[in-house]
Structure 1
Amino acid sequence: MDNKCRSYLSTFLFFILLLSQFTGLACAAGEQKVLVLEISDSITPVTDDMVADAISFAENDDYEALVITLNTPGGNLDETIDIIEQIAATDVPVIGYVYPESTKAWSAGTLILISTDIAAMAPYTIIGSAQPVAVTSSGSEPIDDEKVVNALVKRATENAKQHNRNQTAAEEFITKNLNLDADTALEYGVVEYVSPSIADLLSQVDGDEVKDKVLDTEGATIVHYDASLKLAFLNIISDPIVSSLLLLLGVYAVILGISHPGFGAELFGVVAIALGLIGTGFDVNIGALFLIIVGVILLVLEFQAPGFGIFGIAGLVCVVAGSVLLAPTDFPQNYTPAEFQRTLILSVATPTIVLGMFLVFIIYKVFEVRRRKPLFGELIGDSGQALDPIGNGQEGYILHRGQHWKARSSEVIEKGDKVRILEKDGVVLVVEKMKDEPESEK
């Protein structure tokens, strides 16, 4: 009877364990994820690539929604329009959120916010000031051209109409540089929610129907978007200040290099100008190929005519930068997971880095040889051993530190005698016979 009880108990526990495993799998399979993309600076030629990248991740990994946090003073109009079109084209619900507290989403940021499927703001944030401006040598000037302004107003009001938002406010953001705080924007129907945190916002929007989908975001896992190495690098050089400095430094470096050749300034200038052009929106693939070609030429020059390593180092920088920028990680046309992107970039960059380390080793050896003291001066006063009879006008060879040297002497030296080096005359050493030390000194 006891054995049967034990058998029943074991079977019961087994089924309980099996049920718990299935339950755990079901919970894991039903876990919802929300992707968060942070835009915390100016809208640049890379920002729209990052949005496209994040949307592709959200689409392919079955995210419940994409949250775009906005903390921006504005930026380029072309990229802003492209972002708006991407948001409209994707099936993933996109939530625009001015965050964190006490920040802003002016100009381009406002246009993006009112074009998202759900618009929200954190307390004490500001939106508005969306009149287009032109950047000139003297600063920025408002654009009053009716063709441009009217087209932008129509785009903004249609987006507001599509999402049942205040069209008048959307127009006045552009025509009157209207600014609104979070509570007023909520009151005027410009945004749907005011929330202090992402988690709270996801709780508030839970159950909303967006793009024929009922959001299930309550307690969803928050995943922060991590840009690929290529996009992260492009994001840095596309900053208006950085790209402008690169172009400015590049031009002056080329001028300096041409006027004072030999220091490698012109090489730095070429690289800086190429990176600056890419940062301002120049075609990335063309710029990357240009950098790789320049880098290969510089490396060939370094190996054929070794100098101080300037050509080699500049070439290495060009090839590595070009390889990273050329890696095929464009989205959504060439969607690949982030881990594969990193592996791909590493596989492209690793051979270049290995070659660079080899080059650095060669350069180090060249410097080492150049810094080494001449051996001739160190010979004076050293001792050696005669390999031939020397003296009476007869030259012979001595052994010094494992090397054979031709030598002569004004005195007779027999084979096997110890000699001291007095001086060097061309390739011949002048030596004398070493006297034996007195017995008392031994």
Structure 2
Amino acid sequence: MLKRTSPLIPFLFLALVLLLSPACASAEDKVLVLELDDAITPVSDDIVVDALLIAQQEEYEALVITLNTPGGGVDETLRIIEAIDQSEVPVIGYVYPGGTKAWSAGTLILLGTDVAAMAPFTVIGSAQPVTVSTGGVEPVEDDKIVNALVALAKEKANQHGRNETAAEKFITENLNLNAEEALEAGVIEYVATDVEDLLEQVDGQTIKDRELSTSGATIDTYAPNLRLSFMDIISDPIISSLLIMLGIYGIVIGISNPGAGAEIFGVVSISLGLVGMGFDVNIAAIFLILLGVVLFVLELQAPGVGIFGIAGFVCLIVGSIFLVPMDFPRWYTPADVQQTMIIAIVTPTIVMGLLFVFVFYKVLEVRHRKPVIGEEPTGDLAEAIDKIDAGSEGFVRYRGEYWKARSEDDLEEGDSVLITDKKGPLLFVKKEEE
């Protein structure tokens, strides 16, 4: 006889399934975090595009881009903003961690994200375009350039419902805002202490026709592939500039000492530096550096004067300054950042140059020192280390070396002798006159 099943059991089972299903779903939710630290370089846009592609293919809820940057290349910044617009993946811009900043190009990227957030004690702004020249810091006065940046900033602010006036003042008045001020001004939507806090706050928001399910989501950190990692290293303006300068020194050393392989190192180093810069190199810098190389070569051909070497060294230093991609619009950073980067590049260049000049002249000094072997020592003094009878042969010490010698006079050990002739390895000597 079958027992009748209680009608409550199916309902209890169904309720249990409904209660557990959200937990199961949330366990599958995941968010990808991309860290943009330091400068925006020629490889930064490739990294952002790659992260967006991974986020879309692996069905991440969103891509969080943490920003800690003084700015960088304008072209790369525009491509990053364009990639964010074209992607179906919601992108959350987050100035993080505390105490950091997203200036200039970093501010534009934050304005271009779907959701903008900042950690406490962070700053955005300082987006006025400037150039650093021999006359000091100069703001860019070209209305065409300034108006284009203002239009872009206001368009991105309007697109995401943010304060257009503040977006304009970032560029025209070098406005800076901390997290609380930016939230109050309507430039950002959230202030969050960390990524987990941010994901809790944005949970349930509808972005790009997608309702975010980020509360308790798994956080994965984006790691670029080997190619992008290598490019990220050499695209740093300091690294790429120093690679080019090292390459120049390598070529000069290779010319002065052929066959040592220094010239091969120089060519490879210069090639990597150019690749890191995206081949966007100041022509004046290349001219000065090449002129410096020519002057060093001339110094090799006419050593001892020093004028060519000093002039070449000066050309290399000035060329390294021009080599730094600091001029707008190639580089979009505040003035103090540009000055710091110039110092960071020029200082090791000067140190390496001085070291190179020191070694260079020491080599020349040795090269032009009167050699012992192969040169006529006639007229020089030596010291008898044996007792030598007149017409006999013995040994003398000449410039720290033992030489076989034939004497015209009777010599005692320790006598000073004058070299009168040399035939092969045999010296002809006589006693030095008192």
Query: Normalization by structure 2: what TM-score?
Result: 0.58
- Cα deviation digits, residues 370-405 of structure 1 (max 9, x gap): xxxxxxxxxxxxxxxxxxxxxxxxxxxxxxxxxxxx
- Cα deviation digits, residues 224-281 of structure 1 (max 9, x gap): 0011011111000000100000011111211221122122111110000000001001
Q: Distance in 2 between matches of 1:115 and 1:156?
A: 8
Query: What is the match of residue 107 of structure 1?
Result: 104
1:95 to 89, 92, 95: 92
Alignment of 1:308-319 (within 5 A): none
Alignment of 1:372-411 (within 5 A): none
Say if 1:150 and 1:39 are closer, same or farther in 2 by CA, change over 3 A. Answer: same
**C-alpha displacement at 1:26, in angstroms?**
9.2
Say if 1:140 and 1:235 are closer, same or farther in 2 by CA, change over 3 A. Answer: farther
- Cα deviation digits, residues 193-233 of structure 1 (max 9, x gap): 00001000000001111111111111111000011011111
Q: Distance in 2 between matches of 1:199 and 1:95?
A: 13
Query: What is the match of residue 59 of structure 1?
Result: 56
Counterpart amino acid of residue 192 in structure 1: E
**C-alpha displacement at 1:134, in angstroms?**
3.6
Q: Distance in 1 between matches of 2:188 and 2:261?
A: 55
| Pair 1:144-2:141 in alignment | yes
Q: Distance in 2 between matches of 1:82 and 1:48?
A: 6
Alignment check: 8 A CA contact 2:26 2:216 kept = no
| Pair 1:72-2:60 in alignment | no
- Cα deviation digits, residues 120-168 of structure 1 (max 9, x gap): 0000100000112346577764322111110111011000000010001
Alignment of 1:20-419 (within 5 A): 27=24, 31-134=28-131, 141-282=138-279
Q: Select between 251-260 and 101-110 the one with higher mean Cα deviation.
A: 251-260
Q: Distance in 1 between matches of 2:79 and 2:136?
A: 25
Say if 1:25 and 1:208 are closer, same or farther in 2 by CA, change over 3 A. Answer: closer
Alignment check: 8 A CA contact 2:26 2:213 kept = no
Counterpart amino acid of residue 281 in structure 1: G
Counterpart amino acid of residue 73 in structure 2: N
Secondary structure of 2:108's counterpart equals helix
Q: Distance in 2 between matches of 1:199 and 1:220?
A: 8
Alignment check: 8 A CA contact 2:31 2:218 kept = yes
- Cα deviation digits, residues 15-45 of structure 1 (max 9, x gap): x9xx99xx79992696111000001110000
Query: Normalization by structure 1: what TM-score?
Result: 0.57
Q: Distance in 2 between matches of 1:280 and 1:139?
A: 24
Alignment check: 8 A CA contact 2:246 2:269 kept = yes
Q: Distance in 2 between matches of 1:137 and 1:76?
A: 22
Secondary structure of 1:222's counterpart equals strand
| Structure 1, gaps ≥5 residues long | 284-442
Q: Distance in 1 between matches of 2:139 and 2:277?
A: 21
- The higher-RCO structure (CA 8 Å, 6+ apart) is 2
Alignment check: 8 A CA contact 2:26 2:217 kept = no
Secondary structure of 2:34's counterpart equals strand
Say if 1:135 and 1:255 are closer, same or farther in 2 by CA, change over 3 A. Answer: farther
Say if 1:221 and 1:177 are closer, same or farther in 2 by CA, change over 3 A. Answer: same
Secondary structure of 2:162's counterpart equals coil
Alignment check: 8 A CA contact 2:34 2:51 kept = yes
Counterpart amino acid of residue 226 in structure 1: A
Counterpart amino acid of residue 127 in structure 2: A
Secondary structure of 2:223's counterpart equals coil
Q: Distance in 2 between matches of 1:266 and 1:25?
A: 64
Counterpart amino acid of residue 95 in structure 2: V
Identity over aligned pairs, percent? 62
Secondary structure of 1:80's counterpart equals helix
Q: Distance in 2 between matches of 1:141 and 1:235?
A: 29
Query: What is the match of residue 314 of structure 2?
Result: none
Q: Select between 96-105 and 25-34 the one with higher mean Cα deviation.
A: 25-34
Say if 1:30 and 1:175 are closer, same or farther in 2 by CA, change over 3 A. Answer: same
Secondary structure of 2:28's counterpart equals coil
